Structure formats: C-alpha cells, structure tokens
Amino acid sequence: MTRRSRRAGAVATLVLTSSVALAAPTAAAAGLEQADADVNVDEQGTAQVEIDYVVSGGAAGDEPAETVSFSALAFDEDGGVPIEDVVVTNGDGQELGTSVETVKLKTTVTATLDEPLPPGGEANLTVSYTAPDVGAVDGARMTAEVPVLALDLPAATTSPGIFTASVQLAPGYDYVEGFPANPESVATSGDRVQVSYDTPAVPALLRSVSTTGDAPFFTLERSVNLALGLTLVAGTAALYVSFTRGRRRAAEVAATAERRH
C-alpha cells in the first residue's frame, strides 16, 4: 500500500469517527452555540486558522465552568502535533492561559477562563493557530487538509449556522472539490478563491482540492452524485416496471376468469 493510499484511508477513518471523538463530554459545564472559522492557505501549504466560538454555560444547578477544552486530530499517517502556535483569547482580546497535550493522533488544548462561566451564561472565545504542511502539491494540484480545533462538547442544538467557515485557497489555485462536500459558495476575488461553508456541526477537518490548471469535469463529488442519480433513476424504473407488470398480470387473470364464466 502506498503512502498516499494509507493516508487517504486514515483520513476517511478519522473523519467518520471524529464526531464521537470530538464530542466526548468533559467536566466543564459548557456547550457550543456557534463557531465561525477563517482559514488562509498559502503557496507552501501552511494554513493560518482563526475560529470565533460562542460557548454557553450549563443547565441550572451545574457548577460554573472554569476551563474549556478543544481538540484537533492529526490526519498524517505519521501522527505528530497537527497544530502550532495556539492562542486563545476572550471577548476582550485578552490571552488566556492554555495547556496542550497530545496523545496518539489527538491534540487537546485546555484554556482557563478569566472568569468562571455560570449556567445560562455565554462566553466569546477566539482560537488562533497555525496548521503547517497541510497542503500537498502534486503537479498543478494542491490537496489541503486543515485540522479544525473543535470544542470538546457538542452543540446545544444541531441546525444550519452552527459552524460557518471561509477558506482562502492558495493564490492562483482554483477549487475542484473538498470536504465538507457541496460548499455554500465558491467565489473568486483577484487571484484568490474563497470557499464558504455552513454546516450543522463542526467537522474534524476542512479539505480542499485545488489546481492551477483546468479543473476536471468528473470530480469525485460529481461522480458520487452521478452514481446516486443513476441509482435513483434505475430504482424508479424498476418500481415502474414491477407496478405495470403487476397490473397487466392482474388484468390477464381477471380476463381469464371472465371467459370461464
């Protein structure tokens, strides 16, 4: 198995399991209300990430939360710390004390709040970090897999707008496809392409495939959608044939019975 195929398999596995890994509850009585990410990928494949979080306190009777933790997963087959230079600030722009711990493929950042977050309260936190070497260049194509430093507690509700993101691709690159699939919009300004997302949950990574050449018509996303469409058409046709065949058989039985009488 090649390095590329092993990495692809690791990415698929971690993406499928990330909702469980990143949603595990901790002792802090806090939850996610909203997250808004701004990602900038440069020509060397390094991403600068800034995520604004709105965090809510727990239910009445819970203890005030004194810390909030975030986690990121490493998608490289060699593991290692997927993020660097992590800074967490409060709504006033004051830097909070943080600790960073990496266990296998998971890196956890714990921030100590300047004031305990009481039940029913809200706190605005901004998480900034660098994700080095996330963009792999192969000829005219760059595949960037940017890990998201996600809040360790799930959203209070699951609905559109929980997570929004704006990803600036490397200068000179055009968008081909990515994850999450079906972005909200893809817009061009100068030599930069901005891909926008609006999802009901925080993903483990933001993946983009871009190119400085001509984008292929049959991308993986389009091929999957085409396959699903053909399957739907084939299923509809099969149901129609089965229905008409049943009606014809019923008519033949009725006609035979009438002739006998």
pLDDT digits (tens, 9 = 90+) for 38-58: 999 999 999 999 999 999 887
Query: Is 55 strand, coil or helix?
Result: strand
Q: Can you tell me the distance from the alpha carbon of 80 to that of 83, in angstroms, rounded to the nearest whole number?
A: 9
Q: Which CATH class is domain 3-214?
A: mainly beta
Average pLDDT, the chain: 79
Helix (H, G, I), strand (E, B) or coil at 254: helix
Tens digits of per-residue pLDDT, 141-200?
A: 999 999 999 999 877 666 778 999 999 999 999 999 999 988 999 999 888 999 999 999
Average pLDDT over residues 105-122: 93
Please report, to the nearest 10 degrees, the dihedral formed by the alpha carbons of residues 41, 51, 179, 192 taken in order.
-30
Decide if pLDDT at 219 tops 80. no
pLDDT band at 236 (very low <50, low <70, confident <90, very high): low
pLDDT at 63: 86
Looking at residue 75, what is its pLDDT? 78
> Are 18 and 163 contacting, i.e. CB atoms less than 8 angstroms apart?
no
Q: pTM to 2 decimals? A: 0.72
